[in-house]
């Protein structure tokens, strides 16, 4: 903190005075919406960028969000990070910062439900049209005039994997930016920047937050693009508050061991479910040989880990899905993901509730589909729960 800002007219001591002997072990929560300035000249210094790391008003930036953004950018090996109030606001910022009336987006037809609604029902009202394509297809095409391409590393709920290297080349040939939602995979599984992504987005609400207690979004990218995104974030006010940033930063101390354990448990559970052919007709997990993009996933997921998310279809239809859910004792029906506890969700009744039957069929979503966010428990406990519930399904 700069000394100018730490001077207190009332003479009160401030913990962050540069001469202070107090050194907090972790960053404290800066629960302040604004900072005092000693004189007019120091205001000029702030606006002219002569106070590096200076702060003025929390919508323009606050210490907790700067620390969080930098940390996530370092995991993604990108220059700069930016924190938004949710994953959705991060997506809004990642599109509207760069696009205007008449511009086109090419996006995966298999996006998170909230994202496709944002593109279809909101951005179109502002004259930004989206072409939806099968981003997992090897013959993907990007329409001329596309200014931004938006895909997810691993899609929901059928866990399709997209070939980021090919897509980034196609996008860049068109002169468009590639934005990758890396929420499901996390940088533990893959770092999209290494495959050509220009901007990487996270719903920090999921694996990076990891405890089901914070809603937050993140963007990472090169300084140039992030500077523009930060300006837009400040102008529209989609910033996250200090406490949410602090919680998310705290979670980042353990994200890697949490995600690693989830991945290890997920491959075991996927194999267990695949062996239960009596009850389970299909398992969707990129780590399985039976997954349509398994070879691609093995090539781009350099650690040989395939994420903590999987889905499966029960043989007995909606009735079996309902009995399965009721028979679980410790695992809860929770329409989110990425937490330390294993949770399940039913895409047909939650994220894909409002799409047509035909669209559901096309996306491979059935009434008997259960999606699992595999947690960090001792694997034996997870299998025990699944074994019991499958017995009743």
Ligand X SMILES: *Cc1c(COP(=O)(O)O)cnc(C)c1O
Residues near ligand X (CB under 6 A) are: 86-88, 112, 114-115, 152, 156, 181, 183-184, 203, 205-206, 215, 217
Tokens of 165: 């290297």
| 228-236: long-range pairs with CB below 8 Å, 24+ | 228/97, 228/98, 229/82, 229/93, 229/94, 229/97, 229/199, 230/61, 230/82, 231/97, 232/93, 232/96, 232/97, 233/82, 233/84, 233/89, 233/93, 233/97, 234/59, 234/60, 234/61, 236/92, 236/93, 236/96
* Complex with ligand X: residue 263 or 389, whichever CB lies closer: 263
Closest distance to ligand X from the beta carbon of 155 (Å) = 8
* Complex with ligand X: residue 263 or 320, whichever CB lies closer: 263
Closest distance to ligand X from the beta carbon of 156 (Å) = 6
* Complex with ligand X: residue 112 or 306, whichever CB lies closer: 112
* Complex with ligand X: residue 95 or 115, whichever CB lies closer: 115
Helices (H) and strands (E) in the chain, counts: 14, 12
Pairing of strands 309-314, 332-333: unpaired
* Complex with ligand X: residue 206 or 282, whichever CB lies closer: 206
Closest residue to ligand X in the complex (CB): 87
Whether a cis peptide bond, with omega within 30° of 0, leads into 157 is yes
Measured in whole angstroms, the distance separating CA 225 from the mean position of its chain's CA atoms is: 18
Q: Is 25 exposed, middle or buried (0-12, 13-18, 19+ CB in 10 A)?
A: exposed
* Complex with ligand X: residue 280 or 372, whichever CB lies closer: 372
DSSP H or E run through 268: helix 255-275
Alpha helix locations (H) across 138-241? Answer: 164-173, 186-189, 223-236
Closest distance to ligand X from the beta carbon of 244 (Å) = 11
Closest distance to ligand X from the beta carbon of 204 (Å) = 7
Residue 283 backbone dihedrals phi, psi, to 5 degrees: -120, 135
Residue 129 backbone dihedrals phi, psi, to 5 degrees: -100, 150
Closest distance to ligand X from the beta carbon of 183 (Å) = 4
DSSP 8-state symbol, 175: T
Closest distance to ligand X from the beta carbon of 152 (Å) = 6
* Complex with ligand X: residue 6 or 89, whichever CB lies closer: 89
Closest distance to ligand X from the beta carbon of 216 (Å) = 7
* Complex with ligand X: residue 114 or 292, whichever CB lies closer: 114
Question: Tokens 């930060």 identify what position?
Answer: 230
Closest distance to ligand X from the beta carbon of 370 (Å) = 17
């Amino acid at each position: 903190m700069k000394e100018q800002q730490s001077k207190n007219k009332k003479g009160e001591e401030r913990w962050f005075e540069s001469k202070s002997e107090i050194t907090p072990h972790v960053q404290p929560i800066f629960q302040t919406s604004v900072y005092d300035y000693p004189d007019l000249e120091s205001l000029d210094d702030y606006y002219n960028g002569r106070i590096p790391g200076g702060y003025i008003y929390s919508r323009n930036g606050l210490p907790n969000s700067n620390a969080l953004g930098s940390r996530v950018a370092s995991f993604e090996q990108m220059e700069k990070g930016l924190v938004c109030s949710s994953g959705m606001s991060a997506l809004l910022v990642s599109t509207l910062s760069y696009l205007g009336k008449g511009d086109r987006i090419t996006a995966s037809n298999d996006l998170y439900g909230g994202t496709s609604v944002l593109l279809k029902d909101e951005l179109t009202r502002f004259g930004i049209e989206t072409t939806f394509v099968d981003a997992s297809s090897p013959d993907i095409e990007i329409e001329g005039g596309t200014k931004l391409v938006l895909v997810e590393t691993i899609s929901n709920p059928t866990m399709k994997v997209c070939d980021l290297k090919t897509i980034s080349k196609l996008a860049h040939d068109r002169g468009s930016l590639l934005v990758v939602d890396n929420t499901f995979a996390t940088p533990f599984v893959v770092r999209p920047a290494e495959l050509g992504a220009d901007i990487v987005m996270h719903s920090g609400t999921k694996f990076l937050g990891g405890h089901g207690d914070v809603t937050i979004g993140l963007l990472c990218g090169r300084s140039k693009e992030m500077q523009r995104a930060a300006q837009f974030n400040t102008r529209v006010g989609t910033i996250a508050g200090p406490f949410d940033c602090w919680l998310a930063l705290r979670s980042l101390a353990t994200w890697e061991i949490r995600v690693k354990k989830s991945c290890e448990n997920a491959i075991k559970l996927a194999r267990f479910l695949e062996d239960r052919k009596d009850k389970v007709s299909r398992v969707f997990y990129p780590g399985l040989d039976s997954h349509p993009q398994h070879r691609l996933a093995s090539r781009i997921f350099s650690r040989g880990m395939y994420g903590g998310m999987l889905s499966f279809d029960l043989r007995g239809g909606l009735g079996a899905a309902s009995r399965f859910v009721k028979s679980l004792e410790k695992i809860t029906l929770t329409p989110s993901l990425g937490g330390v506890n294993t949770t399940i969700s039913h895409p047909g009744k939650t994220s894909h509730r409002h799409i047509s039957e035909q669209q559901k069929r096309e996306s491979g979503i059935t009434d008997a589909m259960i999606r699992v966010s595999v947690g960090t428990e001792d694997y034996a406990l997870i299998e025990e729960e699944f074994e019991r519930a499958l017995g009743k399904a």
